[in-house]
Structure 1
């Protein structure tokens, strides 16, 4: 074996290992901690054990070859009358293919995969969330790590019991639960205000990733923290109230496309979201009340013009 040289021989063997095993040669088990939802680290250990056995078998096979065989396998210009290159290609081919098919998804062992953990400080500052973001963050991972379209497609066409993965079944159940609690967010892509999301979590006692909950509370402004309002804004005259209602009517119709004749309008939720952006809170019911009152100042002919 000295004719090839130890360094070159080692390089040739390493290249053949890479050729046969690809990424599985140096695959590392991810770091997964127990968090919200199912937790089964054994599935990773079982997969890694299977991987190690295949790697060991490939290594043993290569070490049993002569220098001439190793050169033949790595140099296609060398004549191969016994088709040893084809035999090498077929060696453990099915087992490696099966390894590729059975690779655990990033959430297979649980949603506590540290490589996918959410930036809770960043997300806690957000004034509102989509349903997709709220669901994934409540479990603890970055929203884009499980795409919105895939999540909605799975929830639409399947039931949680249809999934072999307990983690995936848990995610779909969480999406269904929160989708019913925030119907406008699910059906019309309306956003969920940070304060509304926090209130709902606390109201139903849902198990939420503790760091996301801490971040929501940290950045949710409490009424007691706001400065006292001046008497001037608290005690409006009738004329001042009429003036403010006219302003509300103009902004609601022209900037938020509010139409009292439409059964379902997202104007109230959009106004609520914008209030959050300036540090104020108001529930959608109160917003709709003032919108309805302001509509008496809109000319009836306004609604006849197509918009």
Structure 2
């Protein structure tokens, strides 16, 4: 209400509408302001009734009521109300939601840690993709070039390097041999 009367509540002396405003300790300006507050409080209580006592009137509702009565509204009040009159944040609900999220994440971390410890964790997408490429390489080398993963030294990496070179791709024999070895590790183990 003090804002609607053009006063900054912080700058004004504390005012209690039930306090006697005719006391000698107040200046004439303070007494006049107290009278205006009392009149405004009377209008508010008449219009809003018990809601006012429970402080459930939103700033927007109060501002609209001032406009309906064609009462003076201080400059900047409408903009301030529009900017700051938001639904209150339910901090308790937000805290409970954050706790649930934390508990779910903690549970997931425990599951992943257990999976890693057991060796049952799924490999990442990049790891699966790399393994798929290695399987493709070893499959083409064994099926297309006759590569024997059990051989101590094989001429196949040189053949693959030559074939790649004819297509404009440069790859060393050592690099090819390295990937053939890695791919061979993914082949099913055969009993000897």
TM range (shorter): 0.3 to 0.5
Larger Rg: 2
TM-score scaled by length of structure 2: 0.33
* Higher relative contact order, chain-length normalized (CA < 8 Å, sep 6+): 1
TM-score scaled by length of structure 1: 0.22
